[in-house]
Chains A and B, each alone.
Chain A
Amino acid sequence: MDGSVKEQRKHQQKHSGPKAERKKLKKQGNSTEKDERKRNPKAFGVQSAVRMAKTFHRAQDIKTKKHHIPLVDRTPLEPPPVVIVVVGPPKVGKSTLIRCLIKNFTRQKLGDICGPVTIVSGKKRRLTFMECNNDINTMIDLAKVADLVLMLIDASFGFEMETFEFLNICQVHGFPRIMGVLTHLDSFKNNKTLRKTKKTLKHRFWTEVYQGAKLFYLSGMVYGEYQTQEVKNLGRFISVMKFRPLVWQTSHPYLLVDRMEDLTDPEKIRTDLKCDRRVSLYGYLRGTYLKNKSQIHIPGVGDFQVAEVNFLPDPCPLPGAQKKRALNEKERLLYAPMAGVGGVVYDKDAVYIDLPACHAQQVQEEIRPSTELVQSLIDTHATLDAKMAASKVTLFSGSATLDSADVNVQSSENEGHMEERIWDPISHRERRKVIFTEEADDDKGDASDSSENEDSDIEESDAEEQEDTNENGAGGMRETSDHGGPTVKKRKLEEEKDVTGAVAELPVFADSEDDLEMSEEEGDAGRAADSGHCSEEDEDEEESADEEMDDDDDDDDDDLSKEEEEGTAQTAVKKTASESEEEVQEELGALRWKDRLQQKASEAFLRQQEAMPNLRKLVYGSADSKEEEDGEDVDEELGGLFRVNRPQKSRRFQANALDCSHFNPDSSHNWDLEEMLDSIKDCFVTGKWEEDQDAATLLKEHDEMYGDFEDLETGEVHKGAIEAQDQSQNNESDEDGDAEEAPTTADDDDVQKNKRLDKKRRLKERFDAEYDDGDATYFDDLKEEMQKQAELNRAEFEDLDDETRVQYEGFRPGMYVRLEIPSLPCEFVANFDPRYPIIIGGLGSNEGSAGYLQMRLKKHRWYNRILKTRDPLILSLGWRRFQTIPLYHIEDHNGRHRLLKYTPQHMHCGASIWGPITPQGTGFLALQTVAGINANFRIAATGVVLDLDKSVTVVKKLKLIGYPYKIFKNTCFIKGMFNTVLEVAKFEGAAVRTVSGVRGQIKKALSTPPGSYRATFEDKLLMSDIVFLRSWCTVSVPQLYNPVTSLLLPVGQKDSWSGMRTLGQLKHDLGIRNKPNPDSLYKPVVRTEAHFNPLHIPKELQKSLPYKSKPKQQQRKGKRPRDMQRPSVIREPHERKVAALLQALSTVHNYNTKKAHAVQHAKHKEFLRQKEKDEEAKLKRQKEARKNLYRIMGQKDQKKQKSSLKGTPKD
């Protein structure tokens, strides 16, 4: 085409003339011409309002189409590693690619790739690689958790079914980013075929993913690896890729498990090999917040409840903030415990150092019970003291068991430690003091030690923290030994206090072993009640001792003397263990009551400051409710023999009290007093306003906006901005001046600077608001709102430590967590295969139960058969894979769900199943079998959940047939439709119909034969008619929910799960042939020849018929006799010639006549047209004339009328 284009003339630039001058002017920049729009307004004017409206409309439509519903950005600050799933048919180079990528990022070679491999790829990004084998179960599971899919395609072969299956799975479960990678490109010898193949593959890939999807080419292999440069490029693409948030993933927490430990008691396994296992699973939390004790689903295993969640230090952390561009060698971390890499592995309470060699084998060995003793020694996951703690002793049969919690609540090292960490909201510094007190205990109140501690604040806290995280076992043990004695005493002491009732209103943080605190608390009690927060709730008596220990360090500002006293108090308690504690209490109280009033006052102030933990503990208690109950039991037991039956009181509300939301405090304020009235004065608009909302301030601000100005008339200079501020500042300081001296100049500067900055910010905000308001749309507002919410979400819990934060938010995505699941089936551990992904999917609050689901379903167009109602189907829905029995139905016009026997060929239909409650709008896919490799496309259908309910109404048509046995005029007796009178009674008044369309109604049952009834019809029936009653009967959905437990199958057979068989399979397997109803079979049509008898008319009738209708007595014509036949004429040659000539002449004549006739006809036509024309002209003329005439007549009439009108007034 290029060749055919004529060469165009070159543009001639004008060098003179008005155009050139204008251009010159323009170039100089001082164009004298006005703006185009102004110079030639007509050209830019509105030509057509409609068109303009249309254009505007269209522009607006396009603009709006670009908008997505804004969502709150909930991505965590430190995101979890990106899950990259490498998919492809076998022998396409998946493992090689992962190995190359890992080598590219970490410079490490990984031999065998089992399970997920996490690496640090950059300063801000970590990657988790996971290989997906060709088991459809794995493909489904991994598609649900993938962020990025590397789809390997063997270019020498082309696309394989696996690729398309995986793409379809992705489409159903949310489409992650997909990048195609073409391999085996070196097998092409011809460059042209290579190019062509690339192109066709690319375009097919684009239609599947999206136009312009990235397709990567890996050309050849070098020493069994892909070319370094190509891998590097691929790595770059991966590390800059952005991901889309998928609805399911962002609304559910999930883990791709990268480590699994069996925590079951070896003894239990020895006694019962098939016992349920206690397993801890590790992985990065993704998606959204995970709550402790929440419901989870492990695809391939089942539903479980998490017993415990902890977060662990990140095994593969991102490098800290630094400015350099690349990562150094140390920061290129690799973590793959299932592949035996990772080196040091941290657990909640232990550190595992992985020796190279064979990690996987070790795992296998653990299960073997052969070397029981050694194994148990190696593998005890709980330390001895933990076991001790867990063991229980029964002193007397029938009495409750005594466990070590009885002796010391803190001793159960796992739980106790966690409890402490979880339930203690105070900061590190305060926590440090817990141990300090213990140490003080140890040292019998060594004052100097404590003072040292006080000084070396920060170092201590750090050290303690490390201790906490790393040496929990040891720490717990030490604590145990430390606390054994005192705790019991403390509790007893506390009990007694409670009995006396003097300290009923103690705030929780009260230092209960310190009597001084006690007395002070008494004084405080009134105040506490006043505040209303703890008016009703008395201090919990079963508040366990460790809380007390925690609590006393809330008063972190305790000075030295206090510490000393504490120490002495404790020693005193210890010494006087045999004496009665009351005495001690009284003594100490009496001794120190007066001399620390000031300190007490300051403490009271601090307590006010720290009311938060107080109220928090008041509401949520300090430990698990279970723990509390245990404590209660212990408390109420005296020597294991007698139980103290105390009346329910104090914090625990009356269990059977009145259920009422009214809040009527017993100590209501006296609202007759002036000061009480005064105390709420500012709550009303009539009261004093805040500084920044006060009308005066607002006015002032308004002034500031416009700055100084001078009133020219009066000559008065108005000051604005800073001066005014200054003045107000001065005024304020003056006012306050009496109470406090004028602040130092430095302070003043600071204050002023802040004020100035503040004002600047306010002004900017106002400007922004005004500026943006011009074209602020609803969408912008919404986006801004979301933005604000996102900021708030980030900021709200930022300054809390993780332990506390986890309680409020749950475990946030990005954390490395450890989940403990108490009862996993033993096959999970025994048949563990790291090549199969273990996914932990969190479930929403209602998603744990089962119900009926109504879905929209469409058979996949590549699946080569339709699906039958009640044939079991394997669905992948939400996290789950399960077998269920669907009923297909279609919605009629009146909203009725009519059962279908089969799915329509190319249409959506409804499907109802019994299954797990899953949110509406969730996509699902259906398979008929997951076992083995099938040559055909395996995905049978796809669809979406529409509705959830606990009941379902699918109906099918039921026709009841009956036969008339007695027919009157319009009434019939009908039998055979029902069996009893009762059945008929139920259908009285129902409409019935015959096959021929005669409608009727059931009237009343007849006594005999049973089940017969009287019915009336619109016409008389025949005995041969069949009467039917059309009705709908509900069909029940079978309640089958059979999770696909593919992960529990033995290694190597995990892809062979088979559930319930379909009807077809069953028949095939059992060799059952369907016996059709012989009536329904097609037979060859046999038609007998119709034979009609001659029409016989009786003679009588013949006589009376008119002649016309009489049968004619005609004889058949006989043969004509020879003599009657005429002979044929044979012409002479001359005669023949004459005849031929005549024939020719007549033909010519005929032709001529015909022609003449045509001419004549045309002429006549012309004539007619002319005539018509004339006629028309005549008519027109006449009309004109008539019109004239009428006009004149009208005028005359008018004149006449006018004159008559004129005439009347004259008259």
Chain B
Amino acid sequence: MASHGLDYDGCNFFRQRLVLSTLSGKRVKIRNIRSKDDNPGLRDFEASFIRLLDKVTNGSRIEINQTGAVLFYQPGLLYGGSIEHDCNLQRSIGYYLEALLMLAPFMKNPLKATLRGITNDPTDPTVDRLKSTVLPLMKKFGIEGEGFDLKVMKRGMAPGGGGEVVFTCPVRKTIRPVQLTDSGKIKRIRGVAYSVRVSPQMGNRIVESARGVLNQFIPDIYIHTDHMKGANSGKSPGFGLTLVAETLEGCFLSAEMSSTPQGQGDPVLPEDLGRNCAKLLLEEVYRGGCVDSSNQSLALLLMTLGQQDVSKLLLGPLSPYTIEFLRHIRDFFQIMFKIEVRKPLEDERKGGDKVLMTCVGVGYSNLNKSLK
């Protein structure tokens, strides 16, 4: 059958390509993966990601050449079920989970994934952030019901890891179109200040400083301090803060910050971390939109995979990751988004420019779900 593939260069946006390939059924070939590098080819965390993909699919064909600089991926069907995966310690669980979140609703069997590794690190979105922002976001697209959950069983900081997360997701046949053009006003701010293998006082210090910044806007702030001990505390010390602002319309904007991993760079003071994280949240609020900057791509993907109806979504400025994602969506699904800039009015004090994304879904239906 005349199924055709796509070619890409370089290992950037690796996850996007493989995820979209899996969803669209188009095979993909990625060349020149770090070909000019001293250490060419795929890194361990990417290999681990491919292994995870292999676990959730059935019939995928993956070919990697000897140097690891060329990857060929022919997707199979998403199978789901109960899987366990030890994520590589070079990246945190968030790296793997972001991709899994995109795939999970389209499996044959409801997914129950147990991921082990680093739960919180500064490079990737932490599991706390995903838990507090992505789940409500996906609910807006009709992915909900019992068994839609993300549980942090153990917390593991970089570089040692040792955390464990259980993600369960039901399957859906179709995705609902959404009209999220008004983000509403922020009614409350919640957060988690976590600390493992350090003094429990760290959490309180973070909370104190973060509140100091945020209190000038809204009084309804509650930051939970989460200090895990013993077996649940992973292998490395560290602390961090995740802040989530909830609006009246049920949109969630989040910001987060983790302490630098042990032995990598300068240590940070919890007060600084709290204050900076609060400022990051303000930055996020300034950007605005109905979806925060790190989840833009997921929201856009779900819009693309919706039924053949118009979906609208108001976003803050597009992140580079999202821009590339949009291009990939065009490659894989031939979907283009109508992008309109919403300038703030003269006397309006609601942060920067917003972008209104509009698209017609491809009418994707979950081919993996069996009919009984």
A residues near B (Cβ < 8 Å) are 72, 74, 251, 288-289, 291-295, 302-305, 530-533, 535-537, 608, 611-612, 615-616, 618-621, 625, 653-663, 668-669, 671, 676-689, 789, 792-793, 796-797, 807-810, 844-851, 854, 916-917, 919-921, 944-951, 1041
Residue of A535, A660, A678, A944 most packed against chain B (CB within 10 A): A660
**Stretch in contact with the other chain, from B1-9, B112-120, B136-144, B199-207:** B1-9
Q: B308 near A288 (CB under 8 angstroms)?
A: yes
- Check B13–A659 contact: CB distance below 8 A: yes
| Cβ A659 vs Cβ B32 within 8 A | no
Q: Which residues of B contact A947 (CB under 8 A)?
A: 370-372
Tell whether, in the assembled complex, residue B341 and residue A612 are in contact, meaning their CB atoms are under 8 Å apart: yes
Query: A653: which of B3, B324, B352 is its contact (CB, 8 Å)?
Result: B324
In the complex, A629 Cα to B326 Cα: how many Å?
19
- On whether A684 and B218 interact (CB within 8 A), knowing A305-B4, A656-B11, A845-B333, the answer reads yes
Of B14, B219, B318, which contacts A619 at CB under 8 A? B318
CB distance from B369 to the nearest CB of A (A): 7
B12 shortest CB reach to chain A, Å: 5
What's the least CB distance linking B296 to chain A, in Å? 8
Beyond A303-B2, A950-B59, A950-B77, is A654–B10 a contact (Cβ under 8 Å)?
yes
Known contacts A653-B324, A663-B322; can you find 17 more A-B pairs with CB under 8 A?
Answer: A72-B309, A288-B363, A611-B343, A619-B318, A619-B327, A662-B123, A676-B286, A681-B217, A684-B217, A685-B187, A685-B218, A689-B185, A792-B179, A797-B338, A809-B360, A845-B25, A947-B372
The CA of A845 and the CA of B77, in the complex, are separated in Å by 13
In the assembled complex, 19 residue pairs joining A and B whose CB atoms fall closer than 8 Å, in A order, are A74-B308, A251-B365, A288-B308, A616-B339, A618-B323, A619-B326, A656-B37, A659-B11, A659-B13, A660-B321, A663-B319, A685-B218, A687-B185, A792-B179, A809-B360, A844-B367, A845-B364, A920-B370, A920-B371
Contact: A305 with B370, CB < 8 Å? no
| Total A-B contacts with CB atoms under 8 angstroms apart | 263
Choice from B9, B10, B59, B349 contacting A680 with Cβ under 8 Å = B349
- CA of A653 to CA of B288, assembled, Å: 25
B340 touches A612 (CB 8 A): yes
> In the complex, A532 Cα to B333 Cα: how many Å?
27
Separation of A288 and B353 alpha carbons in the complex (Å): 35
0/1 interface trace, chain B 340-365, chain A, CB 8 Å (1 if under): 11010000111111010011101111
Give the nearest-CB partner of B213 in chain A: A671
**Which residues on B sit within 8 Å (CB–CB) of A288?**
308, 363
Q: Are A532 and B353 in contact (CB under 8 A)?
A: yes
Tell me if B326 and A620 are in contact (CB < 8 A).
Answer: yes
With known contacts A807-B336, A950-B59, A659–B350 Cβ distance under 8 A: no
**Residues on the B chain within 8 Å of A921, using CB:** 371
Q: Chain B, 172-210, contact with A by CB distance < 8 Å: what is the 0/1 string?
A: 000001010000011100000000000000000000000
Given contacts A295-B3, A949-B108, A662 and B294 within 8 Å (CB-CB): yes
Q: How many whole Å from A638's CB to the nearest CB in chain B?
A: 22
How far does the alpha carbon of A919 sit from the alpha carbon of B370 in the complex, in Å? 10
List residues of B (203-228) whose CB comes within 8 Å of A's CBs. 213, 216-219
Judge whether B308 and A289 touch: CB under 8 Å.
yes
**Given known contacts A608-B343, A683-B186, A810-B334, A917 and B318 CB-to-CB distance under 8 angstroms:** no
Tell me which residues across on chain A come within 8 A of B286, comparing CB atoms.
669, 676, 679-680
Are B34 and A656 closer than 8 Å at their CB atoms? yes
Which of A619, A656, A792, A810 makes the CB contact (< 8 A) with B10? Answer: A656
Given contacts A619-B318, A619-B327, A669-B286, contact A302 B351 (CB under 8 A): no
B10 touches A671 (CB 8 A): no
How long is the Cα–Cα vector from A74 to B25 in the complex, in angstroms? 26
Contact of B3 among A616, A849, A946 (CB under 8 A): A849
Q: Is the CB of B1 within 8 A of A848?
A: yes
Let me know if A663 and B320 touch, CB within 8 A: yes
Asked if B217 and A686 sit within 8 Å, CB to CB, the answer is yes
The answer to whether B353 touches A533, judged by C-beta atoms less than 8 angstroms apart, is yes
* Chain A residue contacts of B330, Cβ below 8 A: 620
Q: How far is the CA of A292 from the CA of B336 in the complex (A)?
A: 11
A619 to chain B: which residues have CB within 8 Å? 318, 323, 326-327, 337, 339
What residues of A have a CB within 8 angstroms of the CB of B219 in the complex? 686
Complexed CA–CA distance, A1022 and B308 (Å): 72
B341 near A611 with CB under 8 A, answer: yes
Q: Cα distance A807–B326 when bound, in Å?
A: 14
- Say whether A808 contacts B370, CB under 8 Å: no
A291 to B304, CA, bound (A): 13
B58 CB within 8 Å of chain A: yes
Known A-B contacts A688-B349, A789-B310; the reply to A620 vs B282 at CB < 8 A is no
Cross-chain contact of A950 among B37, B76, B362, B364 (Cβ < 8 A):
B76
Cβ of A305 and Cβ of B363 under 8 Å apart? no
Contact A681/B349 with A302-B2, A653-B320, A661-B319 known, Cβ cut-off 8 Å: yes
Tell me how far the C-beta of A796 lies from the nearest C-beta in chain B, rounded to whole angstroms. Answer: 5
Smallest CB gap from A534: residue in B: B317
Contact across chains for B12 and A683 when beta carbons are under 8 A apart: no
| Chain A minimum-CB-distance residue to B25 | A846
The CA of A921 and the CA of B174, in the complex, are separated in Å by 14
Closest chain-A Cβ to B69's Cβ sits at a distance in Å of 10
* B24, CB-defined interface residue at 8 Å: yes
CB distance from A1133 to the nearest CB of B (A): 99
Given that A659-B11, A661-B319, A661-B321 are known contacts, is A615 also in contact with B310, CB under 8 Å in the complex?
no
Q: Which residues of B contact A845 (CB under 8 A)?
A: 23-26, 332-333, 362, 364
Whole-angstrom CA separation of A951 from B10 in the bound complex: 32
CB of B307 within 8 Å of the partner chain:
yes
Complexed CA–CA distance, A291 and B297 (Å): 22
Interface contact A687-B323, CB-CB below 8 Å:
no
A537 touches B77 (CB 8 A): no
**A531/B309 in contact, CB under 8 A:** no
Contact yes or no, A685 B349, CB < 8 A = no
Question: Which residues on B sit within 8 Å (CB–CB) of A653?
Answer: 12-13, 320, 324
Known: A656-B12, A950-B59, A951-B59. A917 touches B367 (CB 8 A): yes
Judged by a CB distance under 8 angstroms, whether B15 is at the interface is yes
Minimum CB–CB distance from B75 to chain A (whole Å) comes to 8
B21 to chain A, nearest CB (A): 11
Flag whether B232 is at the interface (Cβ < 8 A): no
Residue contact A682 to B350, C-beta cutoff 8 Å: yes
State in angstroms the CA–CA spacing of A682 and B318 once bound together.
22
Q: Is the CB of A808 within 8 A of B334?
A: no
> B164 within 8 Å of A by Cβ?
no
- Which of A625, A807, A845 neighbours the largest number of chain B CB atoms within 10 Å of its CB? A845
Residue B125 CB within 8 A of the other chain? yes
**How close is A349's CB to chain B, nearest CB, in angstroms?**
24
B248 CB-CB contact with A under 8 Å: yes
Measured between C-beta atoms, what is the minimum distance from A298 to chain B in Å?
Answer: 11
**B355 closest partner in A (C-beta):** A615
B contact residues around A680 at 8 Å (CB): 217, 282, 285-286, 349-351
Chain B hits for A946, CB < 8 A: 370-372
Q: Determine if B55 is an interface residue (Cβ-Cβ < 8 Å).
A: no
From A532, A682, A689, A1041, B287 is in contact (CB under 8 Å) with A532
Residues of B within 8 A of A677 (CB): 216-217, 282
Q: Which of B1-53 contact A (CB under 8 A)?
A: 1-4, 9-16, 23-26, 32-34, 36-37
Task: Give chain A residues whose Cβ lies under 8 Å from the Cβ of B340.
Answer: 612
| Chain A contacts for B24, CB-based, 8 A | 845-846
Distance in angstroms from B256 CB to nearest chain A CB is 9
**In the bound complex, do residue B185 and residue A848 qualify as a contact, i.e. CB atoms below 8 Å apart?**
no
Known: A655-B11, A671-B279. A251 touches B1 (CB 8 A): no
State which of B317, B358, B360 has its C-beta within 8 Å of the C-beta of A533: B317
Q: Is the CB of B351 within 8 A of A683?
A: yes
For B347, give the chain A residue with the smallest CB separation: A688
**Partner among A305, A612, A671 whose Cβ is within 8 Å of the Cβ of B339:** A612
A683 touches which of B15, B285, B334, B353 (Cβ 8 Å): B285
Report Cα–Cα, A288/B331, bound state, in Å: 20
Distance between Cα atoms of A56 and B195 in the complex (Å): 61
Chain B residues near A683 (CB-CB < 8 A): 185-186, 285, 288, 349-351
